[in-house]
Amino acid sequence: MDDKEIKAIVEGLLFAWGDPLSIKDIAKILSVDEKYINGLINEMIDEFNYERRGLRIVRIKNKYQLTTRPEHYEWISMLFQDNKSNNLSSAALETLAIIAYRQPITKAEIEAIRGVRCDKAIETLLNRQLIKEMGRLERTGRPIVYGTTEEFLRYFGIKDLNDLPDINDFKIQNQEDVNKE
C-alpha cells in the first residue's frame, strides 16, 4: 500500500470509530510501524488544514479523532437547534470547572466550594461522561473522588488539562462586589 491509500484508510478508521483512536491501534490494524503512522497523521493534519476541509484531525492525549472545524459551529449547530438538551446548566458547568481545576476532589469538597448541594450536577456530568469516579479515599465514609475524562477534553476541544486557562487569569467576584453593582 502507498501513503495515499494508508491515509485514506486512516481517515476511514477515524470516521468509523468516532471516538479517539490511538496510534498503537491504527498501526496494529494496518500492520505498520507506529512512527510511520504518526508521521502520516501529522501530514494529514497539515493537509486538512491547508485545504480548509470541513473536518480536521485533533490530538487528545495520545489519541486522534476526526472532528468538525470549530469555525463552522454556526452552521453545524443549526442541525441541532431543536435539541437544546445538549447544553449544560450553570450549576453543572460550575461543578465541572471545580472538578477540572481541583481534581481529584470529593463531593463534599465541591459542595464546600459552591456552598450548595451538587448531587444533580454530578449525576448529569457522570451521565454525560464528562467526569468519572476515580476511586475512594481511605478515610471515614470512604468518599468517592471525581476527575475529568477524555470526553471532557473532547467536549471542550483541548488536548490535555494543561490546556485549561490559568485559574489566576479569571476575575473572581465575591458577593460584596456583586451587591455593589
Contact 124, 88 (CB under 8 A): yes
Mean pLDDT of the chain: 88
DSSP code per residue over 24-42: HHHHHHHTS-HHHHHHHHH
Mean pLDDT of 118-127: 93
Q: Is 142 a member of any domain? A: yes
Residue 84, pLDDT > 60, answer: no
Residue 81, pLDDT > 90, answer: no
pLDDT of residue 85: 53
Q: Is 154 a member of any domain? A: yes
Task: Give the domain CATH number at 108.
Answer: 1.10.10.10
Q: Is 180 a member of any domain? A: no
Q: 76 or 56: which carries more pLDDT confidence?
A: 56
Residue 7, pLDDT > 70, answer: yes
Least confident residue range of 36-40, 144-148, 158-162: 158-162
The percent of residues above 70 in pLDDT, for the chain, comes to: 90
C-alpha torsion 90→96→100→102, nearest 10? 90
Residues 99 and 151 in one domain: yes
| Number of domains within the chain | 2
Alpha-carbon separation of residue 151 from 16, 44, 85, 129, 134 (angstroms): 17, 23, 17, 6, 15
Q: Is 121 a member of any domain? A: yes
Residues 66 and 13 in one domain: yes
Residue 88, pLDDT > 90, answer: no
Domain that holds residue 113: 88-169
Q: Is 133 a member of any domain? A: yes
Q: Is 20 a member of any domain? A: yes
Residues 106 and 64 in one domain: no
Residues 104 and 143 in one domain: yes
Q: Is 92 a member of any domain? A: yes
